[in-house]
């Protein structure tokens, strides 16, 4: 009897399986800007962003559970998100809950390897590398002008050598950033 019940369970669609690109553990680093600031503003005050993130399928493989533990400067940013696909509406959705009490609902879409997440006040774009080992994220306060956060990169964590490579890349990016800041202040 149990075999009969299990054989009638729905199967995840191709749209559900597209979420596989996120599954795994990720280490992200970049910059976070104050609300309503733009990265190209001379007085923009970016703080470093680091996070450890994991994505895993919930039973049935219809929904992803995304957890993160981040620091934006000295401020902790922790939370949980559920990502899924709504067959009836023909689109992806997310709902996240964080340690500041926020709980926005996002709609998401995908075009090739670019995922776009939107809600009335925020838009984020995540570009997955062709080999699925890294992603680059940008976000803003809902307009093209404002930049609320910007990841330099997020790398899939698989081994100690991967973590070392990410740290070397982060140091190189910080040196380039510091050089730009010195150059900008000299002009």
- pTM for this prediction: 0.73
pLDDT of 31 > 60? The answer is yes
Express as a percent the part of the chain with pLDDT over 70: 66
Lowest mean pLDDT among 4-13, 32-41, 104-113, 161-170: 161-170
The answer to whether 113 and 39 are in contact (CB under 8 A) is no
Model pLDDT, residue 37: 56
What is the fold, at CATH topology level, of the domain defined by 11-157?
A: Lipocalin (2.40.128)
**pLDDT for 96-124, tens place per residue?**
999 989 899 999 999 999 999 998 878 88
Sign of CA dihedral 53, 127, 109, 46: positive
Per-residue tokens: 37: 């600031």
DSSP assignment of 117-142 equals EEETTEEEEEEE-TTSSEEEEEEESS
The answer to whether 151 and 15 are in contact (CB under 8 A) is no
CA distance 96 to 83: 9
Model pLDDT, residue 185: 65
**pLDDT for 167-183, tens place per residue?**
555 556 666 666 666 66
Model pLDDT, residue 49: 84
Model pLDDT, residue 184: 65
Q: Where in the chain are the domains?
A: 11-157
Lowest mean pLDDT among 2-16, 18-32, 76-90, 145-159: 145-159
Task: Give the CA distances from residue 164 to residues 154, 157, 171, in Å, rounded to whole numbers and listed in that order.
Answer: 13, 10, 11
Model pLDDT, residue 167: 53
């Amino acid at each position: 009897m149990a075999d009969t019940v299990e054989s009638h369970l729905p199967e995840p669609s191709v749209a559900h399986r597209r979420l596989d690109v996120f599954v795994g553990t990720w280490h992200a680093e970049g910059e976070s800007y104050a609300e309503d600031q733009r990265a190209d503003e001379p007085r923009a005050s970016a703080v470093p962003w680091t996070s450890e993130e994991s994505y895993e399928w919930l039973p049935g493989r219809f929904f992803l559970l995304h957890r993160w533990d981040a620091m934006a400067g000295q401020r902790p940013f922790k939370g949980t998100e559920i990502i899924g696909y709504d067959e009836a509406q023909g689109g992806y959705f997310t709902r996240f809950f964080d340690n500041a009490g926020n709980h926005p609902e996002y709609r998401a879409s995908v075009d090739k390897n670019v995922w776009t997440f939107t809600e009335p006040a925020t838009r984020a774009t995540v570009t997955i590398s062709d080999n699925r080992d890294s992603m680059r994220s940008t976000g803003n306060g809902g307009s093209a002008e404002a930049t609320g956060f910007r990841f330099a990169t997020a790398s899939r964590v698989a081994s100690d050598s991967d973590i070392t490579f990410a740290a070397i890349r982060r140091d190189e990016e910080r040196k380039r950033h510091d050089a730009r800041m010195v150059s900008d202040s000299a002009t």
